[in-house]
Amino acid sequence: MIKGYAGIVQKGEISPLVGYKNFKEYHKNLEKKLTGLKFNDGLEVKGISYHFTSRAIGTHDWANLSNSKETMKRLNHKHVPTNDIEKCLASGSVIKKRSNSMLLELEGLCGVTYNPITNTLIQCNPRR
pLDDT for 58-98, tens place per residue? 876 655 666 677 766 666 678 899 999 999 999 999 999 99
Evaluate if residue 43 carries a pLDDT over 70. yes
Q: What is the pLDDT of residue 73?
A: 66
Q: What is the pLDDT of residue 70?
A: 74
CA distance 116 to 124: 15
Could you tell me what percent of the chain has a pLDDT over 90? Answer: 64
Question: How many residues are recorded in the chain?
Answer: 128
> Which positions ≥6 away from 97 have C-beta within 8 Å?
103
pTM: 0.86
Best-predicted range by mean pLDDT (22-26, 41-45, 62-66, 71-75): 22-26
* pLDDT band with cut points at 50, 70 and 90 for residue 16: confident
- Mean pLDDT of all residues in the chain? 88
Q: Are 26 and 4 in contact (CB under 8 A)?
A: no
How far from the centroid of its chain's Cα atoms is residue 87's Cα? 14
Q: What is the DSSP string of 37-88?
A: -EETTTEE--EE-HHHHHHHH-SGGG--TTS-HHHHHHT------HHHHHHH
Q: What is the pLDDT of residue 72?
A: 64
* pLDDT band with cut points at 50, 70 and 90 for residue 36: very high
